[in-house]
Amino acid sequence: MNATVAVILVLAVGTYAFRLVGPALHGRVELPDRVQELLSAAAVVLLVALLATGALTEGGGFAGWARPAGVLVGGVLAWRRAPFPVVVLGAAGAAALLRAAGLA
């Protein structure tokens, strides 16, 4: 259990340090526009990579068909500008229905 406590504390302290970067640097360091642009692009690139790996993989392998199919339903709903909860519940519902129908 001590190891779990250590994981939580290291994660908490490290994450908070990352979050302080903005407030700590604000007003002291002027970032060039080019760098700011790249920072916001980097944020989106990270999020898309996170969603792609999260939708398709599990423990280094393929996550099965139900999850990516569910995410795809969520994606279509988002594309059609459905409200946020509809997107999320649509994705979960579709994955659940496919699993209930026997698809892994």
Q: Which parts of 10-29 interact with other proteins (CB under 8 A)?
A: 10-12, 14-16, 18-23, 25-27
Which of 30, 43, 65, 103 touches other proteins (CB under 8 A)?
43
31 lines the binding site for other proteins (CB under 8 A): yes
101 lines the binding site for other proteins (CB under 8 A): no
Which of 30, 47, 65, 103 touches other proteins (CB under 8 A)?
47
Burial of 87 (0-12, 13-18, 19+ CB in 10 A): buried
Bridge partner residues of 62 (DSSP): 57
Burial of 55 (0-12, 13-18, 19+ CB in 10 A): middle
